[in-house]
Amino acid sequence: MRRRILIGSVAVIVAGCASAPTFQVQRAAPEDSAAQQILLTVRQENGSAAVGLTGAPGKRYLRRRGYQATPAIERALNQLAREHGLERIEGWPIHSLGVYCEVLEIASGDSVESVIERLSADPRVDLAQRMNIFETLASRYDDPYAEMQFAVRDLGVEQAHRLATGRGVTVAIIDSAVDRAHPDLKGRVHLTRDLVNSPTPPRRGELHGTAVAGVIASLVDNSEGIIGVAPEVNIAALRACWPLAAKGGGTYCSSFTLAQALEVAIQIKPQIINLSLAGPFDPLLARLLDEATRRGSVIVAAHPEVGSLRGAFPASHPRVIVARSPEGPASAISPYTLIAPANEILTTAPASQYAFLSGNSLAAAHVTGVIALLLERDPSIDADSAANLLSSTAQTTISACRALETLLGTHVCDGELTPLQHVAL
């Protein structure tokens, strides 16, 4: 990586999201309330539509608020409801079709199909159908920048979140300082340690560490910014690196600070340690990586940006999972090399901002997040099984959704969650 941890430039900085307007989200699944509902229409003569259609446009047009059908239609709807064991919910005249439309709910124990069949045979009924639910073709989350996260789409993250969100998994991020006050990271950083001990420690985080944390753990459905790959993980932010403006904005770490951070990580026993950095082989750090692995942590590192093995540590260390960009040069640096999104990644930046960044550091963050999803569902997963599972289910890049499908023997990536048959684990 030429001693640079994150290679790429900031394309866009988006500020002020903490003050963006919020809105309420319907948390209950709409299909739950619609499951026993029927949509029914009855004919009405031209000019016999409901009268007095006034009221605040923001209100729902319910019959009880003054939008009644004609008396004849009211009698017919009441009779139909009584005869077929239905409860009237709300209704509205459809002038263009010359009908009155009513929503009814099955109060008896009859099936929707049998009630619709009986209603369809009734001469008073123009049309009877089940209440269908439609979805807009956009992110199911309310995070406003989610649609700009092409990496999230490529990894199948939203579908994967039906199966796992990283709950109960701890990730140690050994990096520069993480902005724990960022609106997309609030509550996710459960531990911080500053091993750099600089005379002026950062008050609001630093770019690289905050960016890595954002890819892994940004909150979902908080009406802010972006979504993380594993939004419910616990982050241990261990600051062992620092930026140097005099060196072109690069971020640097030392054997001493990294050793301290690894020792802290070993003591807190995180399931995953993220090391989005590269440098020369280091004997002390190698021993600490051995110990962390022996105690059960999965270690994820970034592939060096250059094509040679020089400066390839810790990616060259045995049993470390390595992440690289799809466009990067292939090498035999590690048998555990995985391909993940790394270019123009939208993520968090200090002071409640967001930035597009590029580099294998972001690939490592994506791999870390996906492994956290797997560990939530199977805590016994180690580096071998994680790398094999992600390699065998990869398409252009690793796929969070496909990996979880294979792990759990379910189908969720292309539609509804249903059992899969003949899944080889």
- Residues 6 or more apart whose CB falls under 8 angstroms from that of 265 comprise 172, 174, 236, 238, 273, 292, 297
More confident of the two residues 31 and 114: 114
List of domains in the chain: 13-23+139-419 (3.40.50.200), 35-130 (3.30.70)
CA angle 322, 324, 330 (to 5 degrees): 95
- Residues 6 or more apart whose CB falls under 8 angstroms from that of 85 comprise 106, 107, 108, 110, 115
Token output for 245: 């403006």
Q: What is the pLDDT of residue 144?
A: 87
Q: What is the pLDDT of residue 14?
A: 39
The yes-or-no verdict on residue 18 having pLDDT over 60 is no
- Distance, in Å, from the CA atom of 147 to the CA atom of 142, rounded to the nearest integer, reads 10
Q: What is the pLDDT of residue 20?
A: 32
Active site residue 175: yes
Active-site residue, from 84, 161, 208, 317: 208
More confident of the two residues 5 and 106: 106
Q: What is the pLDDT of residue 385?
A: 96
Mean pLDDT of 34-41: 89
Active site residue 366: no
The yes-or-no verdict on residue 310 having pLDDT over 80 is no
Instruction: State which H helix or E strand residue 272 sits in.
Output: strand 272-275
Sign of CA dihedral 372, 373, 378, 383: negative
The yes-or-no verdict on residue 411 having pLDDT over 60 is yes
Question: Cα-Cα-Cα-Cα dihedral of 64, 67, 73, 78, to 10°?
Answer: -10
Q: What is the pLDDT of residue 335?
A: 85
Region of 423 please: left (phi>0), alpha (psi -120 to 50) or beta: beta
The yes-or-no verdict on residue 127 having pLDDT over 50 is yes
The yes-or-no verdict on residue 371 having pLDDT over 90 is yes
User: Which residue from 324, 321, 345 is spatially nearest to 335, judged by alpha carbons?
Assistant: 321
> Pairing between strand 170-175 and 272-275?
parallel
Active-site residue, from 143, 175, 179, 184: 175
Active-site residue, from 276, 334, 358, 361: 361
- Under the banding of pLDDT at 50, 70 and 90, the label for residue 337 is very high
* Stretch among 19-28, 122-131, 163-172, 217-226 having the lowest mean pLDDT: 19-28
Mean of all residue pLDDT scores within the chain: 84
How do residues 239-284 score in pLDDT, each as one tens digit? Answer: 999 988 755 557 899 999 999 999 999 999 999 999 999 999 999 9
Q: What is the pLDDT of residue 305?
A: 79
Mean pLDDT of 96-121: 92
Q: What is the pLDDT of residue 25?
A: 34
pTM of the entire predicted model: 0.72
Partner residues linked to 321 by β-bridges: 300
User: Which residue from 392, 248, 415 is spatially nearest to 407, judged by alpha carbons?
Assistant: 392
CB neighbours (10 Å) of residue 46?
7
- Distance, in Å, from the CA atom of 172 to the CA atom of 71, rounded to the nearest integer, reads 69
372 phi and psi, to 5 degrees? -60, -40
- Under the banding of pLDDT at 50, 70 and 90, the label for residue 70 is confident
CA R_g for the chain: 28
Mean pLDDT of 89-109: 90
- Distance, in Å, from the CA atom of 160 to the CA atom of 325, rounded to the nearest integer, reads 21
Partner residues linked to 94 by β-bridges: 99
The yes-or-no verdict on residue 94 having pLDDT over 70 is yes
- Distance, in Å, from the CA atom of 350 to the CA atom of 18, rounded to the nearest integer, reads 12
Q: What is the pLDDT of residue 209?
A: 96
- Distance, in Å, from the CA atom of 216 to the CA atom of 210, rounded to the nearest integer, reads 10
User: Which residue from 162, 165, 218 is spatially nearest to 189, judged by alpha carbons?
Assistant: 218
- Distance, in Å, from the CA atom of 79 to the CA atom of 125, rounded to the nearest integer, reads 11
